Amino acid sequence: MKNYARVFKGNAFTSKSPTELHILKDYLFCINENGMIAKVVAPVDQDYQTILETNQDKLQCLREGQYFLPGFVDLHVHAPQWAQSGTALDIPLYDWLNTYTFPLEAKFSDLNFARKVYQDVVSTLLANGTTTALYFATVHKDASLLLAQICVEKGQRGLVGKVVMDNLDQTSEFYRDHDTQTALKETEDFILEVNELAKTTKQGVYPVVTPRFIPSCTDEALKGLGELAAKYDTYVQSHCSESDWEHEYVLSRFKKNDTFALRDFGLLRDKSVMAHCNFLNDDDAELFAETGTAVSHCPISNAYFANSVIPVAHLHSKGVDIGLGSDISGGFSPSLYDNARQAVISSRMLEDGVNSRLPAVERGVPHSRITINEAFYFATAGGGESLSLPIGRLAENFAWDVQIIDTTTATAKLPIFDNQEDLEDVFQKIMYLVRPENICEVWVQGEKVHSR
Ligand code: GUN
Ligand code: FE
């Protein structure tokens, strides 16, 4: 009999496929010292009773009304923008960046201010069930490293990028890299420092090459960043074909779409995640599928800044990896539950169309809708696959990254009135109605990192 660090028992939900849910009723999850799921045991399995009896001292059993879900993977968060979440959403992207966002991010040269915001955003995301986050920090190397350290301390799996913005045309003096060479040198130093930090971090912490988006960067910086990503085999993140303005800007500068421009700079890799991607055509989608580049779908943010609904079902059908992103603070909510809900709603509106003056047959884009199961998949297994990490599923050889949901929390009870209710229905209620009050514990890599 193997020696497990912990054993958990209860009902769990995980994705079987993008559209199908796997319901595990009364299963055992055996966790090893490394925080990985070593064994998943069904009640009908031979060794179920033996494992239960021999691990009494390491056993945690869920109560009636509690469920395990995989921790969420947020594929796009601007950690500094947490300080302005919920504000300034009534102006277009270009103005929002220049009048609100860049002045706010400039303040992160102050490490004390950065520490306050970063500690709060990491704790808030954990409390909302997000166990892995792909972060943009700011142009400041030291504050970016501080964000990585805070993820480590709080037990979240953080992938962190020092943002690069060196294009004099599209940035302001108060907020940009000193020059291209400094931007590249600081990115390289940042990669080395985070890799050093990773050596002693159980849950993993990763440096991310982060050109903010093509408009902010010179050709030389984009090329240099592509070379650094290849040299150190790092993750890459950026914004891609987000709004009419941004899409047109890139077309007029390079006579091609963002996707092919990014590819030519060496920025599309298996470890690349591009946010938004609203205006991708089928050639762009094929390029993403070929290079293993993932799309971070940010449905709340897109409703404010992207001028369109991304055809996410279509891109997924073309073989593109998709995950969900909160895009704090283009999206106001730190919750991937809220974003999963919006992903479904937006897809329904794309399918039906929104202009009631048009006849029904002309109004929408057929086959665009996604289900809540698919949105859940994007928030969990899809995010894990986008990052090529063993996360986002409750299955053997995946990390024990979970949220324990309590549907009976006094202040946020879910409307479940029959304890024999079909578990598929319970799952849907969880996806649509859970609030942070229902997330009673969060675990990352076998360690408890949040409880209430
Ligand atoms: N494009 C460039 N920077 C940003 C940002 O901070 N948020 C969003 N939504 N789009 C961007
Ligand atoms: Fe963004």
**Interval 93-144: pLDDT, tens:** 999 999 999 999 999 999 999 999 999 999 999 999 999 999 999 999 999 9
- Closest by CA to 121, choosing from 329, 381, 301, is 329
Measured in Å, residue 239 CA sits from the centre of ligand 2 at 6
Q: Which two tokens stand for residue 33?
A: 């010292």
Give the architecture-level CATH label for domain 6-70+394-451: Roll (2.30)
> What are the residue ranges of CATH 3.20.20.140 in the chain?
72-387
Which residue shows structure tokens 């595990």?
24
- At 419 the pLDDT is 85
Q: Residue 202: is its pLDDT beyond 80?
A: yes
Which ligand ends up closest to the CA of 76? 2
Ligand 1, pocket-test mutation among 75, 76, 78, most atoms within 8 A of CB: 78
> What are the residue ranges of CATH 2.30.40.10 in the chain?
6-70+394-451
Measured in Å, residue 135 CA sits from the centre of ligand 2 at 9
CA distances to 5, 74, 198, 260 from 381, rounded to whole Å, are 24, 11, 23, 27
> Atom 9 of ligand 1 has which residue's CA nearest to it?
330
Q: What residues line ligand 1, using a CB cutoff of 6 Å? A: 78, 93, 97, 101, 212-213, 239, 242, 301, 305, 327, 330
Measured in Å, residue 275 CA sits from the centre of ligand 2 at 6
Q: How far apart are CA 332 and CA 301, in angstroms?
A: 7
Rounded to a whole number of angstroms, the distance between the first and last alpha carbons of the chain is: 34
> Atom 3 of ligand 1 has which residue's CA nearest to it?
212
Q: Does domain 72-387 have CATH number 3.20.20.140?
A: yes
Give SS3 for 387. coil
Read off the pLDDT band of 71 (50, 70, 90): very high
Which ligand ends up closest to the CA of 246? 1
Computed over every residue of the chain, the mean pLDDT equals 98
As to burial, measured by CB atoms within 10 angstroms (0-12 exposed, 13-18 middle, 19+ buried), residue 347 is buried
> Atom 7 of ligand 1 has which residue's CA nearest to it?
330
Cβ neighbours of residue 199 closer than 8 Å, sequence gap 6 or more: none
The three-point CA angle 276-277-281 to 5° equals 160
Read off the pLDDT band of 1 (50, 70, 90): low
B/e letters for 182-192, b = 16+ CB within 10 Å, e = fewer, are: ebbebbbebbe
Measured in Å, residue 105 CA sits from the centre of ligand 1 at 12
Measured in Å, residue 274 CA sits from the centre of ligand 1 at 11
Phi, psi of 145, rounded to the nearest 5 degrees: -65, -35
CA distances to 99, 101, 279 from 216, rounded to whole Å, are 15, 13, 19
Tell me the average pLDDT across 162-191: 98
User: For the chain, how big is the Rg over CA atoms in Å?
Assistant: 22
Measured in Å, residue 210 CA sits from the centre of ligand 2 at 11
Q: What atom of ligand 1 comes closest to residue 243's alpha carbon?
A: 10
- Closest by CA to 152, choosing from 129, 137, 136, 133, is 133
Tell me the average pLDDT across 267-294: 98
Q: Looking at the whole model, is its pTM more than 0.75?
A: yes
- At 287 the pLDDT is 98
Ligand 1, pocket-test mutation among 75, 85, 97, most atoms within 8 A of CB: 97
Look at the alpha carbons of 111, 114, 119, 120 in this order and tell me if their dihedral is positive or negative: positive
Which residue shows structure tokens 């009896």?
53
Beta strands, E only, 234-348: 235-240, 272-276, 294-297, 321-324
- At 3 the pLDDT is 86
Which ligand ends up closest to the CA of 247? 1
Which residue type sits at 447? E
Measured in Å, residue 239 CA sits from the centre of ligand 1 at 7
